[in-house]
Amino acid sequence: MSGYRIAVVGATGLVGQTILEVLDEHRVPVQSLVALARQGGGRTVVFRGQSIEVEPVASMDWSRVDVAFFAAGNAVSDEYAPKAALAGVTVIDKSSRFRMDPTVPLVVPEVNGDAVGDARIIASPNCSTIQLVVALAPLARRFGLERVIVSTYQAVSGTGREAVEELEQQTRRQVEGEGLGDPEVYPVPIAHNVLPYCDQFMDQDYTGEEWKLMRETSKIMDQPVRLSATAVRVPVYVGHAESVYVETREPWTLDQVRAVLSEGRSVRIVDDPARGLVPTPRDAAGTDEVWVGRIRADVHEPKGLHLFVVSDNLRRGAATNAIEIMQQLGPRWGLGGAR
Ligand SMILES: NC(=O)c1ccc[n+]([C@@H]2O[C@H](COP(=O)([O-])OP(=O)(O)OC[C@H]3O[C@@H](n4cnc5c(N)ncnc54)[C@H](OP(=O)(O)O)[C@@H]3O)[C@@H](O)[C@H]2O)c1
């Protein structure tokens, strides 16, 4: 086979579009690509300079592809992923529909690539979970985890295209003296604001996004991680940031922590405050790495460590993770294995 035969469900959305970009940038061999969305309606997407007509997912003949990336929300994954898998397609699902299903592996290749096994449906974690576990896993392996407390600062692109448009419109209206207008995507304006929730409130007054971070981390790391999260939405277009407090089981020095983190695949340490080098969403946007900085010891707790962890939620937090899962499975279709 000369390359992957791929379907992208949600090809017109932010994650779907980023999948097309990353496939191209990473020079992934692609034999054919089917772009799927709610309706076709004469729309096209561009892949490697070629226009591809968007087709409705409802009429997809799944025998046309080997792999399908699902990036169209839970309802679409619920309805079509099992059908695609039954037809022999390997589904890599970006929605949260199957993430906590014990029969479905939840995979971040840097952390638990082996969990993939021979599964036909593979779940890719929440964007804020991926960057967190990429930074935590090397520390957990070396020093053990006693306790983790995370506060996120999440970009609007994590919500999807409509949220990006809402922030753009509110910002423009404000500059033009029209006021922010009525919010539609979030309950209150996001421009010039910070929302101390990213999702619906659920059990114990934690939001859905916070429960995802807490539950998914333990599943991926294959151990009960004592993690508490506060997930916050900020008026940033791309790039989630996280303030992470880690208490380890074993003692460490900051030099050891830096050495362990720098061995982590996909980790980029940016940590020289004296020279103004700290990780920010603007810098991380457009990259595939997890940027880690503000590495410092807690003032009171000898095994307490603080980190600031940033990554591009559409790339490392979605498209790149999904594509690397596919590449790891390349031998299924006679193609090269992990990168
Ligand atoms: N954004 C992130 O950072 C991020 C990170 C990790 C995971 N995710 C997950 O990835 C998925 C997509 O997110 P997004 O940010 O790309 O959203 P988005 O920009 O709003 O795009 C949604 C996509 O889904 C398609 N879609 C919606 N309803 C559909 C239906 N009934 N049938 C077929 N296609 C349908 C849309 O097609 P039309 O153009 O036809 O409406 C569009 O292509 C979600 O499950 C989200 O939770 C997002």
Q: Per-residue pLDDT for 181 more than 70? A: yes
pLDDT in tens, 19-31: 999 999 999 999 9
- The pLDDT of residue 337 is 60
Q: Given ligand 1 and candidates 69, 94, 166, which is best to mutate, with the most ligand atoms within 8 Å of its CB?
A: 94
Q: Per-residue pLDDT for 336 more than 90? A: no
Burial class (CB in 10 A: 0-12, 13-18, 19+), 259: middle
* 127 assigned to active site: yes
CB atoms < 10 A from the CB of 270, how many?
18
- The pLDDT of residue 246 is 98
* Mean pLDDT, residues 233-256: 98
Pick the CATH number of 4-124+318-333 from 3.40.50.720, 3.40.640.10, 3.40.50.170, 3.40.50.10860: 3.40.50.720
* 198 assigned to active site: no
Parallel/antiparallel/unpaired status of strands 30-37 and 4-9: parallel
Catalytic residue among 26, 192, 240, 300: 240
The reply to whether ligand 1 has any atom less than 6 angstroms from the CB of 264 is no
Q: Per-residue pLDDT for 1 more than 90? A: no
Alpha-carbon distances of 254 from 83, 150, 294, rounded to whole Å: 50, 20, 11
pTM of the model: 0.97
- Please state, for a pLDDT cut of 70, what percent of the chain lies above it: 99
252, HSE (Cβ side, Cα atoms, 13 Å)? 29
- The pLDDT of residue 192 is 95
pLDDT class of 131 with cuts at 50, 70, 90: very high
- 129-312 adopts what CATH topology? Dihydrodipicolinate Reductase; domain 2 (3.30.360)
What residue ranges do the domains of the chain occupy?
4-124+318-333, 129-312
